[in-house]
Amino acid sequence: MATGAQWKKSGAIASLKQQAAARVAPLKLGILCDGLTFEAWEAEAVTCLLASGFVELGLVILSGSMNDKNAMSRDQKLRRFMLKSFQRLTRARSHRRIDLSDTLSGVPIVRYMQNAQVEHAGVSNDVSVGTVRDVVADSSFDVILKLGSARVDIGLLAMPRHGVWAMNRTEQSAKAGGPPGFWEILNGDLVTGACLCRLTANEGEGVILRKGYLKTLGSLPGRSLDAISFECARWPTYAVAEIVNGTAELRTYGAIRAVAGQRVPTWFELARFFVKTARNFAGRMADYGAMDEWHVGVIKMPIRDIMEGKPLKEVQWLPSGANEWYADPFARLVGEKIAVLMEKMPLGRGRVETKAHIASVVLDESGWGVPEFAFATGSHVSYPYLIESEGRVFMTPETWELNELSLYEATEFPRTWRKVAVLLPGIAATDATVFEYRGRWWMLCTTSDASAETLLAFYADSLFGPWHGHRQNPLKVDVRGSRPAGRPFEIDGILYRPSQDCSRTYGGRIIVQRVLELDEQHWLEEQAFIFEPEPAWPYSEGLHTLSVVGDVCIIDAKRKSRRQGAALFRA
């Protein structure tokens, strides 16, 4: 369980670059925009694409803006002023303007005029003179990415081999559109959605290529918008990588769906928004000094019975002291007993969290034993995932602070371990879940820069590697069911994957996913069961690990407690 955010290079991008050596020639990319100065999140999308090595930028098309002030009515100008005021008040980093003139220097630039003629504007390489359609047709582009409020000539849509793409930072539903991040907070939505779509000739519609959902930060609208914006900025690179890797047709999001148009809110709605934000912030302040206190327990009934909705048996909670808590339990049978490894977090003065290590405890018919020290690295360590293979016992603990995922073998279980391999060098993996399925080793994880939203997969012929990134990485971006929550298990030959729903709170509940497809190119899962903490439990505010061993289920659950000297905003 990661204790803080650390903004590093995306693990998903690193996974994609792992496949670059086997790729074909880069795709030819065009950019359609209304100038060479972009909002920061759009500039991030461009730089991410260019740094990936998957594309070659061949043309920049400058088009008139759909927000041209000269073409606006008085009411539209007033609403535009209100929108700009909203953007300034939220102080979102994603709205800052960045000049990419130097980055785009040396790239042919054409200006699209109302009469559909082409003007040379700082052109460094010759392009054919004529209409923009002729230029695009002559250059055989693979993709054109639309940025900002640039106008789109309907005749361009079908010319690039893979279409004209646009990023949309609004939920794809029947409710009102932009400004991005506004309606989700006003309506109290737990998640904020976004998509990358291929535009069609039907106005307001698009084919969704990528979509994702992040937690709505109701008291911090600027941070909430930044999170979805900079996450969305990675998706054009993901989509291009899928084309290069030959997996673009394997990911489907159903039929064409309407893309919500941007509607500026009324003054009354804007006032309601800031009142609601203030109330959300007051609620956050009321939680000042609160901390998540996790506790481990056992439910002595099979997971099948739980998923079939049978009444839960009473949880037997592991006794713990006042200045410690336990989380992330993983178990294995040792004779007639169950050995459990778990994260132990000692609490220092003022009940402030210190450095976690791994503890072990024995569970038998008489109940829980006394936890003992098992493993430490000197850095934060958690999620002591256990693997048994060929009579040997291994562990892949979470050590994201070391920027690697390592494999340890027990020389004397559970107290003595030796490091035998680094499975994912240079990737700060969180909650890495390793299992053997249909003759191949699989690993599912998130990373410290997007620990609750972005699910990655890796596979190998041997537990020791080498490990290869899945060709559809990232498999999903969804705070409601990406992050692993324990060891996958099988019922009647069907693979199930516990995942965390962190939309309401970190580790709020467990969503058990039914895996429908899993191989080197395919991944598909669906929600099978929701496992929530019972209101009567003493730890009823969250549930985020499920460890199935034999006919019992070992879990961890949380409650809020007070501490002194805590930071106001915890990651």
Are both 106 and 223 inside the same structural domain? Answer: yes
Residue 541 within any structural domain of the chain: yes
Question: What residue has token string 């003759």?
Answer: 439
Residue 378 within any structural domain of the chain: yes
Mean pLDDT of 131-150: 82
**Quick check: pTM over 0.85?**
yes
The confidence band for 270, taking pLDDT boundaries of 50, 70 and 90, is: confident
* Three-class SS of 211-231: EEEEECCCCCHHHHHHHHHHH
Are both 215 and 326 inside the same structural domain? Answer: no
Q: Which among 353, 393, 401 is positioned nearest to 377, based on CA atoms?
A: 401
* 145 has a pLDDT exceeding 60: yes
Of 35-39, 51-55, 121-125, the range with the lowest mean pLDDT is 121-125
The confidence band for 262, taking pLDDT boundaries of 50, 70 and 90, is: low
Of 121-130, 218-227, 308-317, the range with the lowest mean pLDDT is 121-130
Mean pLDDT of 254-260: 50
Residue 219 within any structural domain of the chain: yes
Mean pLDDT of 277-305: 90
| Cβ-based neighbours of 464, under 8 Å, separated by 6 or more | 407, 420, 421, 423
| Cβ-based neighbours of 2, under 8 Å, separated by 6 or more | 380, 382, 398, 400, 430, 448, 451, 571
The confidence band for 404, taking pLDDT boundaries of 50, 70 and 90, is: very high
- Of 235, 264, 285, the last residue of a domain is 285
Of 274-283, 314-323, 347-356, the range with the lowest mean pLDDT is 347-356
How far is it, in rounded angstroms, from Cα 85 to Cα 326?
46
pLDDT at 205: 75
**Where in the sequence is the domain holding 440, given as residue range(s)?**
289-562
Of 28-37, 105-114, 160-169, 272-281, the range with the lowest mean pLDDT is 105-114
**What average pLDDT is seen over the chain?**
84
Are both 179 and 91 inside the same structural domain? Answer: yes
Q: Which among 408, 436, 415 is positioned nearest to 495, based on CA atoms?
A: 436
Summarize pLDDT for 183-227 with one digit per residue, the tens.
Answer: 899 999 999 999 999 998 876 678 889 999 999 999 999 999 999
Are both 277 and 354 inside the same structural domain? Answer: no
* Residue 359 belongs to domain with CATH number: 2.115.10.20
Mean pLDDT of 326-343: 96
Is 433 within 8 Å of 444 (Cβ atoms)? yes
- Of 265, 285, 305, the last residue of a domain is 285
Residue 8 within any structural domain of the chain: no
Are both 261 and 342 inside the same structural domain? Answer: no
Cis peptide before 414 (omega within 30 of 0): yes
Residue 196 within any structural domain of the chain: yes
SS3 of residue 464 by DSSP:
coil
Residue 7 within any structural domain of the chain: no
Residue 77, number of CB atoms within 10 A of its CB: 11
Are both 484 and 536 inside the same structural domain? Answer: yes
* 75 has a pLDDT exceeding 50: yes
* 118 has a pLDDT exceeding 70: no
Are both 337 and 201 inside the same structural domain? Answer: no
* 80 has a pLDDT exceeding 90: no
More confident residue, 155 or 412: 412
Summarize pLDDT for 372-396 with one digit per residue, the tens.
Answer: 999 999 888 999 999 999 999 999 9
Residue 569 within any structural domain of the chain: no
| Cβ-based neighbours of 554, under 8 Å, separated by 6 or more | 296, 297, 298, 299, 329, 331, 338, 340, 363, 546, 547
* Residue 130 belongs to domain with CATH number: 3.40.50.170
How many Cα atoms sit within 13 Å of 146 on the Cβ side?
25
Are both 375 and 269 inside the same structural domain? Answer: no
Complete DSSP assignment for 307-335: HTTPPPPPPEEPP--TTEEEEEEEEEEET
- Of 285, 316, 345, the last residue of a domain is 285
Six-digit token string for 182: 């506004």
Is 469 within 8 Å of 19 (Cβ atoms)? yes
Are both 109 and 146 inside the same structural domain? Answer: yes
How far is it, in rounded angstroms, from Cα 379 to Cα 356?
8
Q: How many domains does the structure of the chain reveal?
A: 2
pLDDT more than 70, % of the chain? 81
Phi, psi at residue 198, to the nearest 5°? Answer: -95, 120
* 297 has a pLDDT exceeding 70: yes
The confidence band for 181, taking pLDDT boundaries of 50, 70 and 90, is: confident
Residue 5 within any structural domain of the chain: no
Summarize pLDDT for 551-571 with one digit per residue, the tens.
Answer: 999 999 999 886 544 433 333
SS3 of residue 295 by DSSP:
strand
Are both 293 and 281 inside the same structural domain? Answer: no
Mean pLDDT of 233-253: 83
How far is it, in rounded angstroms, from Cα 474 to Cα 457?
7
Are both 359 and 499 inside the same structural domain? Answer: yes
Are both 454 and 546 inside the same structural domain? Answer: yes
